[in-house]
Every structure is written in C-alpha cells, then in structure tokens.
Amino acid sequence: MALLQILKDGDELLRKTSRPVEEITPRITTLLDDMVETMREANGCGLAAPQVGVLRRVVVVECSPGKVYELINPVIVATKGKQNEIEGCLSIPGKNGITERPMYVTVEALDRNGKKKRYKGEGLLARAFCHEIDHLDGILFTDKALHMLTPEELKEYYEEE
C-alpha cells in the first residue's frame, strides 16, 4: 500500500466529473487500499478518487474505526430528513462550514468484488456518503455551505460539545 497525495482546493481535477469504473481490476483494488491508508493517515472519514488525482467513481468512507465502506460507482437512491452540521474536507484544510445534508441516505454501489450492494447511512455516515459522492461530480462542500465558519465560531462549536 502507498500513501497518495491529496489534491488541494484550486486544483482543476477537483472540479471535473469522474468516469464510471467499467471493470474492477487489480489497479482499482489497489486504489481502494491506498485510499483507505491515505484517508486514515490524514485523519479523515472519507476520501474520493478525484482527491488523489484519479477521475474514477470510487469512494472510501470510515466514520467508525474499522468499518470501511468501499464504494465503486456509488449512487444515492433515497434520502430522508435533513441535518445542518459542520463539515470539512481533506482537500480544503483549515476551513469548515455548515451544510445541509439528508439525515438518512441509501446508496447503491459495487464492492471491490463487483457485487452490487446497498448501504444505509444516518447522521455523520449519511453526510460522509453525500460529501464524497459530490466529489465525483466536481462538487465541494464549500459549494453547498450555508455558512463558512470563522476560527472563533469553530472554537465555540467544539467548546459546546
């Protein structure tokens, strides 16, 4: 496995639409492994392939230690409710904002073996699924932020928890 470089805001690849994965090859499974390692090393809870310079519809999410979701060609098929919560991004370090996301989502995707699976997410997991899938279409959380937080607001937010 290898650590990959995470692209930062301003890199034009982050604004491009990713192509579907037509065939799950060893290259794709290696990408999944490397993305998980990179996400963990960066202390993130999700990472999309465009963030590491690969324009493929591949996402990894890990909101709970050891519970990794590897999503190939993910599609959100259902949403319910809404939540307005703080969000950040490994590609936009040092910036956080409040975004509105669904409270519940259902995602269909292929796993690393090419099997179609359905995943349900609630709260943080739902937000992470939406955030990472947005990356596949060149959308950043700052595009959806209702309010970007100042450093003081961020500090207050964490003091309240």
The pLDDT assigned to 33 comes to 97
Domain assignment present for residue 95? The answer is yes
Residue 5 falls inside a structural domain: no
Q: Catalytic site residue 62?
A: no
| Calpha distance 136→14 (Å, rounded) | 8
Residue 44 lies in a domain: yes
> Token pair of 60, please?
């990894």
Q: Which of 41, 85, 132, 153 is catalytic?
A: 132
Domain range for residue 69? 12-160
Judge whether 56 and 21 are in contact, CB under 8 Å.
Answer: yes
Q: Is residue 6 part of a domain?
A: no
Instruction: Name the domain count of the chain.
Output: 1
pLDDT band at 119 (very low <50, low <70, confident <90, very high): very high
Q: What is the pLDDT of residues 54-97, one digit of tens each?
A: 999 999 999 999 999 999 999 999 999 999 999 999 999 999 99
Tokens for 2?
């290898």
Task: Report yes or no on 3 lying in a domain.
Answer: no
Q: Which string of b and e fits 72-100 if b means at least 16 CB within 10 Å? A: bbbebeebeeebeebbbbbbbeebbbbbe
At 112 the pLDDT is: 97
- Here the CATH number for the domain that contains residue 98 is 3.90.45.10
45: in domain: yes
Task: Flag whether 111 is in a domain.
Answer: yes
Instruction: Please indicate, yes or no, if residue 53 is contained in any of the structural domains.
Output: yes
Q: What is the pLDDT of residue 158?
A: 76
